[in-house]
Amino acid sequence: MGMSLYGFGLVGGLLNTYVFSQSSLRSNPCCLFLLALNIVDILHIHNSLLIRVLQVGFRWDPIAIFPFICQLRYYIGYVLITLYMIFLTFASCERYASTCNRQSQWRRFSKSKNVSYTILGCIIICCLVCLFIPFCYSVTHGSTCIVQNSICTILTTVYTLIVIGFVPPIFVTIFAWLTVRNLRIIRYRSRSAPISYKTYLRIKDANEQFTSMLFMQIVIMLISSIPYASLMIYQLSTRHINKSPVRIAWEQLISQSIHLLIYLNYVSSAYIYLGTSPMYRQHLISRNKQSSARVGIVHEFVSSIFASLSRAEDEKKVPLIPIHIAEVTEQKLQQHHHLTVAPVHMTSHTRMVQQQLHYDQCATNR
């Protein structure tokens, strides 16, 4: 089960990154929050789910080899969970701001520059707030990572309830209701609006689709976070009660099921977007076509380079001559050499004979 969730989450995260990294979508402030949420999803399934799969499925525990992973894993996990809830809350706030009147102060939040600063500030604050987490966990019995004492138990439980159970769901629900109310007002005004205003509303179709994608993500968050918060309250209130083995077994089963339900937040976003947003599907298809075209251009370029190199090598190559043809050619060259050199020797010998006869004739005359 864990391996399947990890595979689905990894594929979905890559799909979201593939789509939301397009420049045409990054200009939308909500897309920046969705991209940040997707990065948090990918990091969280590697930090929590992958280690759990290695421990349970493959019987290999990295904490037993490197004990510091216990504190590091929980610190990163709490930071990522906090960032996920805060990004989702701010994304719902941005959707409400985008539907407000242009003269409203909320419109300032619906700008890409302000959203980028908000994301960076949230990362810094969450990393600082969660610094107490490594001091609350320790390794016992070889590789078991547990909370050190009762104070840390209360502290981590209360923090989890605030971050996951109460504050983000309340704010997300409020901003979602306000956004729906503003959208109804906009649709009512558009019925009697001039054509230019209706054209403007068609341009904002992408914003409405981003809103629907975000709302589906909020629904999944509420479905998974409310049972988790209830489990935290139950464990905190019954920690001093003596429990039977059967009750402990049932509690462990329910706890594991709720923890798996929590992972739906991190593995289901891409499939929600595929099912609810035509814009997401269109951008995925268009990005795939662009990538295929780029791969085709690169393939043609590389093929032309190899073709030119092969032609250059063919021009440099000397054709091989069979052995019997080479021997015949060598014999002909030697015969041609003798034929061309022999007349030279004969001519010089004749000249010497003529000179000797000339000397003899001169001596006779004397």
Mean pLDDT of 213-235: 85
Give the pLDDT score at 361: 59
Q: pTM of whole model > 0.75?
A: no
307 confidence band (pLDDT: 50, 70, 90): low
User: Is a pLDDT exceeding 80 seen at residue 308?
Assistant: no
DSSP secondary structure of 67-94: THHHHHHHHHHHHHHHHHHHHHHHHHHH
- Which of 17-21, 241-245, 299-303 shows the lowest mean pLDDT across its residues? 299-303
> How many CB atoms within 10 Å of residue 218?
21
Give the pLDDT score at 340: 44
What angle, rounded to 10 degrees, do the helices at 2-20 and 29-44 form? 150
Nearest 10 degrees: Cα torsion 162, 163, 166, 172: 150
In the chain, pLDDT over 90 holds for what percent of residues?
A: 12
Give the pLDDT score at 209: 77
Q: Which of 210, 207, 216, 225 is nearest to 262 (CA)?
A: 225
138 confidence band (pLDDT: 50, 70, 90): confident
Give the pLDDT score at 221: 85
User: Is a pLDDT exceeding 80 seen at residue 310?
Assistant: no
Q: CA angle, 306 as apex, 300 and 309 as ends, to 5°?
A: 140
Domain ranges of the chain: 2-293, 323-366
CATH of region 2-293: 1.20.1070.10
> How many CB atoms within 10 Å of residue 158?
13
First to last CA, the chain: 131
319 confidence band (pLDDT: 50, 70, 90): very low
CB distance 132 to 142 below 8 Å: no
> How many CB atoms within 10 Å of residue 38?
24
Report residue 41 CA to chain centroid gap.
Answer: 11
The partner residues of 287 in beta bridges, in order of sequence, read none
User: Is a pLDDT exceeding 60 seen at residue 216?
Assistant: yes
